Amino acid sequence: MLREARISALLQHPNTIPTHEIGRDNRGNYYFTMKLVHGYTLREVLNYRERYDLTQLMDVIIQIGNALAYAHSVGVLHRDIKPENLLLQSEEDRITITLADFGFAASVEELKSPEAREFRFGTVDYMAPELLSPGEPDYTTAGDIWAAGVVAYVLLAGR
């Protein structure tokens, strides 16, 4: 949890959830507070609606790409991009996407250690082929980009 808090605290972007505080309670347990985001996961929206405006879908895909580009620029890999980790808020005619759940995230520096790469993280349906092949997974920005591409396909194809 402390690792997730530290990583999410690095991210200050309109399409990520800001971390406000990291600390310890009276018993020594770590906690962190984040901005409360109201909305639905992209998965919930996909399960509810059958048709979407193409312009809105393209805007959603661009926002996902912007959030990932920013995370990658500060050395953070999400490692679990999927509709369940994308929060959608609708204000007037504008849809905003927020990339959430950095529980599997890691810094590029952290992934240089062989111990940090021995476990596979992510959701199989959205994982890049090279992360599913035998041997030690090689997590790079390409894995996140692949997963975002799968999300874009799901959005545009509806399945």
Catalytic annotation, residues = 80
Nearby residues of 48 by Cβ (< 8 Å), 6 or more positions away: 40
Distance in angstroms (rounded) separating the CA atoms of residues 63 and 57: 10
| DSSP per-residue string spanning 51-109 | ---HHHHHHHHHHHHHHHHHHHHTTEE----SGGGEEEEEETTEEEEEE---TT-EETT
Query: Shortest CA distance to 127 belongs to which of 154, 145, 152?
Result: 145
